[in-house]
A and B are shown apart, each in its own frame.
Chain A
Amino acid sequence: MIDIQSVSKSFVTRDADPVRALNEVSLEIFDNEFFTLLGPSGCGKTTLLRLIAGFEAPSSGAIRIAGSDVAALPPQKRPVNTVFQSYALFPHMSVAENVAFGLEMQNAPKSLIDERVREALEMVRLEGFATRRPAQLSGGQQQRVAVARALAPKPSVLLLDEPLSALDLKLRKGMQSELKRLQRETGITFVLVTHDQEEALAMSDGIAVMRSGDVLQVGTPRDIYDNPQDRFVADFIGESNLLPGALLGRDPAKTIVVRPEHIVVSPASDDATGHARGAVSAITFLGSDTLYEIVLEEGARLQSRSRGRAALATGDRVVVDWARDVERELAN
């Protein structure tokens, strides 16, 4: 659906050297996929989204949407709609006029526009709000109008630029499943930009993890969580213990990555075996789980997460162990 081939983007600034926002990025996003560009701020994810939308032109490389090169096409000629971070609803138009805008600009007949506007507002559950102005809506409702407006012209691709970042936690969770449902119902390819790894894992079919203009890893959420290919990815996605190889008597050029939920902690006794020994330095109650913080004898710290209530106390001497197949060995 979207084929991105070694795309680079540099921004010219007045005094400094050009800032390179994307380095030879290649990506393939498939039809009917919920794809997420994930990374910390400044990683180039929003730049990539703006290149797909056509608001910026790549410095080099090619972008194809549905097989055709869109390099020369301005935003209004691309079969792509965007949900902006700030929503960017037209304040001088009603909700219905906002949603109708894209279809009107495509010169769709009035009857079709009315039908699609009704459909789109139904999809986001805002049927009764057609005549309101954006300023009369809550943040969550404005967000849904922005989604309806972008979906009404039935684009091939919907781009979402940190759409949930302005919502509070509860609304955000609700909107996550709502967006997921909309993607399944419409069959439109969604490309989401976020810095929230939990959001990315919960919503996506595919994720690209980005940092400083590079795509570090592309895969399914499971794949990225279970098989991080890079220290940064391991650290950024979920919680990870990154242990120097030398500490465990392995290759010093490697880092051993183990998820806290895979670490088994048991009281130290003579017959207990494990990868390392240490002492419990802190215990955090997480409701259904307990988080132990352990200081190893060699000085490193690690975290272990286990189900149920605490069976150990702060200061207890412990042995930590994990199955070899859950750990990942990565280059430092």
Chain B
Amino acid sequence: MNGAKPFDWRHTPGLSAYTALIFLFFYAPLLILVIYAFNSSRLVTVWAGFSFKWFVAVANNGSIRDAAFNSVIIAIVATIAATAIATAGALALERGRLRFGRSAATALIAMPLVVPEIVVAITTLIFFSGLGMHHGLINLMIAHTVFCIPFALLPIQARLRDMGGTLEEAGRDLYADEWRLFRRVTLPLLIPAISAGAIMAFVVSLDDFLISMMVSSAGSTTLPVYIYGMMRLGVTPEVNAISTILLAVSIVFVAAALLVGRRK
């Protein structure tokens, strides 16, 4: 049994230590942020005992509450609108009659994922001022809907492609008209993918900073933009606390998306 074994990268010496290091590099800063959110000291770098007081401070801060409320409202509206548009778009791309240009259309829809966000942010700002639109929250909702669409579309499109057309053919063969086919066959089979897409959209909208920063105006500040504002006056444990809350919400949603997406 001894002697030369065939090369197997899984048995590289030090692989587990190396992997642990990478994880440490990923998550140590986050962990430190979360730990200091529970620090009772006013100083961010000195530990002075466990306390919830910064969370209480956050909860009592009216401006943070308003910003959080804006963020959630924008995320909910953008998620619903983006998911509805994405579902229709995925159906058109995978089941529509268009014979050519399908991959070009898919690439165009996915483009915002690779275009530098700062470019999208600036063009969105210019677009709105060019049109003379200054509607605060509504501008933000529109902007968020647009950049959420590809996040919602991709899982739905992938599911439709995996599913193939045979189940829908079976439905038509069994006398279902298009609307009832959609309601009874296609939609129920898409629900996991639609939920996963919607959750992704929600998280992306909730966490967005650059575009919101450009588009938001006084009175329509979102939470990440507000946190950035607080940071300019110095990092306070309040920032840690609010960041921890935002982090927890994102983790819960992304985990939910993974769980729902796995269910077929």
A contacts, CB < 8 Å to B: 12, 14, 53-55, 74-77, 80-82, 84, 86, 88-92, 101-102, 105-106, 149-150, 153
Contacts of A77 in B (CB 8 A): 175
Contact A101 B166 (CB under 8 A): no
- With A75-B173, A91-B189 known as contacts, the answer to whether A105 contacts B100 (CB < 8 A) is no
B229 within 8 A of A: no
B164-186 interface bits toward A, Cβ cutoff 8 Å, 1 = contact, 0 = none: 00110111111111001000110
Contacts of A54 in B (CB 8 A): 172-173
Contact B169 A88 (CB under 8 A): yes
Minimum CB–CB distance from B249 to chain A (whole Å) comes to 30
Given contact pairs A82-B169, A82-B173, a sample of 15 additional A-B residue pairs in the complex whose CB atoms are under 8 Å apart: A76-B173, A77-B175, A81-B174, A84-B166, A84-B170, A86-B166, A88-B166, A88-B169, A88-B170, A89-B170, A90-B171, A101-B174, A105-B171, A105-B180, A153-B175
B219 within 8 A of A: no
Q: How far is the CA of A152 from the CA of B141 in the complex (A)?
A: 50
Minimum CB–CB distance from B113 to chain A (whole Å) comes to 27
Q: How far is the CA of A106 from the CA of B189 in the complex (A)?
A: 22
B188 within 8 A of A: yes
Contacts of B171 in A (CB 8 A): 90, 101, 105
Interface size class of B (residues with CB under 8 A): 10 to 19
Contact B173 A80 (CB under 8 A): yes
Residue from the set B174, B185, B188 with the largest chain A CB neighbour count within 10 Å: B174
- With A92-B188, A92-B189 known as contacts, the answer to whether A75 contacts B172 (CB < 8 A) is yes
B contacts, CB < 8 Å to A: 99-100, 166-167, 169-177, 180, 184-185, 188-189, 264
Contacts of B188 in A (CB 8 A): 92
Q: How far is the CA of A88 from the CA of B168 in the complex (A)?
A: 9
Contacts of A82 in B (CB 8 A): 169-170, 173
Contact A76 B175 (CB under 8 A): yes
Q: How far is the CA of A160 from the CA of B259 in the complex (A)?
A: 38
Contact B174 A55 (CB under 8 A): no
25 contacts between A and B (CB under 8 A): A12-B99, A14-B100, A54-B172, A55-B172, A74-B172, A75-B169, A75-B172, A76-B172, A76-B176, A82-B169, A82-B173, A84-B166, A86-B166, A88-B166, A88-B170, A89-B170, A90-B167, A90-B170, A90-B185, A92-B189, A101-B171, A101-B184, A105-B171, A105-B176, A149-B174
Contact A105 B166 (CB under 8 A): no
Chain A residue at smallest Cβ distance from B99: A12
Q: How far is the CA of A180 from the CA of B67 in the complex (A)?
A: 71
Partner of B174, one of A14, A74, A92, A105: A105
Minimum CB–CB distance from A238 to chain B (whole Å) comes to 33
Chain B residue at smallest Cβ distance from A75: B172
Q: How far is the CA of A75 from the CA of B177 in the complex (A)?
A: 9
Contacts of A84 in B (CB 8 A): 166, 169-170
Q: How far is the CA of A74 from the CA of B181 in the complex (A)?
A: 13
Q: How far is the CA of A54 from the CA of B170 in the complex (A)?
A: 11
Chain A residue at smallest Cβ distance from B180: A105
Contacts of B173 in A (CB 8 A): 53-55, 75-76, 80-82, 150
Minimum CB–CB distance from B120 to chain A (whole Å) comes to 33
- With A14-B100, A91-B189 known as contacts, the answer to whether A102 contacts B175 (CB < 8 A) is yes
Q: How far is the CA of A226 from the CA of B206 in the complex (A)?
A: 75
Residue from the set B172, B185, B189 with the largest chain A CB neighbour count within 10 Å: B172
Chain A residue at smallest Cβ distance from B185: A90
Partner of B167, one of A14, A55, A88: A88
Q: How far is the CA of A329 from the CA of B171 in the complex (A)?
A: 49
Contacts of A106 in B (CB 8 A): 175
Q: How far is the CA of A149 from the CA of B167 in the complex (A)?
A: 13
Chain A residue at smallest Cβ distance from B175: A105
Contact A55 B169 (CB under 8 A): yes
Contacts of A86 in B (CB 8 A): 166
Contacts of B175 in A (CB 8 A): 76-77, 102, 105-106, 153
Q: How far is the CA of A84 from the CA of B188 in the complex (A)?
A: 21
Q: How far is the CA of A14 from the CA of B180 in the complex (A)?
A: 32
9 nearest A-B pairs in the assembled complex, by CB-CB distance: A102-B174, A88-B170, A105-B175, A75-B172, A88-B166, A105-B176, A76-B175, A82-B173, A92-B188
Q: How far is the CA of A12 from the CA of B171 in the complex (A)?
A: 26
Contacts of A92 in B (CB 8 A): 188-189
Q: How far is the CA of A12 from the CA of B174 in the complex (A)?
A: 28
Q: How far is the CA of A53 from the CA of B170 in the complex (A)?
A: 10
Residue from the set B170, B184, B188 with the largest chain A CB neighbour count within 10 Å: B170
Q: How far is the CA of A106 from the CA of B177 in the complex (A)?
A: 10
Chain B residue at smallest Cβ distance from A101: B174
Minimum CB–CB distance from B178 to chain A (whole Å) comes to 9
Minimum CB–CB distance from A144 to chain B (whole Å) comes to 16
Q: How far is the CA of A105 from the CA of B184 in the complex (A)?
A: 10
Minimum CB–CB distance from A59 to chain B (whole Å) comes to 16
Minimum CB–CB distance from A101 to chain B (whole Å) comes to 5
Q: How far is the CA of A150 from the CA of B174 in the complex (A)?
A: 8
Q: How far is the CA of A56 from the CA of B170 in the complex (A)?
A: 14
Contacts of A102 in B (CB 8 A): 174-175
Minimum CB–CB distance from A79 to chain B (whole Å) comes to 10
Chain A residue at smallest Cβ distance from B174: A102
Contacts of B100 in A (CB 8 A): 14
Minimum CB–CB distance from B126 to chain A (whole Å) comes to 39
